[in-house]
Amino acid sequence: MPKCFLCGKEVYPAEKVNSDGKIFHNVCFQTYRKQQQIEYKHTKQAEYYKKADVVPAYYRVADKESGEPSRMTAGVDDEAERQRIIDEENKFLQKVAEQNTNKNVAQTTVCECGQLVDNKMNFCPYCGKPMKK
């Protein structure tokens, strides 16, 4: 008689389960499978919560010192070019805000963090700061 991979006892043909070339009792196999799922879940969670080494250029992250979102100037070394990009970004955000208020569609304002926020909201969903009304 073959032995169970998990408990080591004899396995009768009526309760025999084969998996990955191993023989189990039906109950032992269910326990083994659940245990594998738990271990697999924990390893995946550890990988999932690992911090990314590289941040995409289109994704804004908060600056560690100031806590404010970074601008779209990730790889720019020249200070004049960096300031030009920031000015263009601010002009674009203001233009979008003006267009939205003129259309009476969704009244939005630009938060201090640079994101467009609906006027009905009390707090910015991106940075959490209270909205000025």
Per-residue pLDDT of the chain (133 residues; tens, 9 = 90+): 889 888 889 999 888 888 778 888 888 888 777 766 545 544 444 444 444 444 444 445 556 676 665 555 566 677 888 788 778 878 877 877 777 665 555 577 788 888 877 777 778 877 888 877 6
Give CA–CA dist 36/22, Å, rounded: 14
**How many other CB atoms are there within 10 angstroms of residue 114's CB atom?**
19
Q: What is the pTM of this model?
A: 0.29
Handedness of CA 27, 28, 29, 35 (dihedral sign): positive
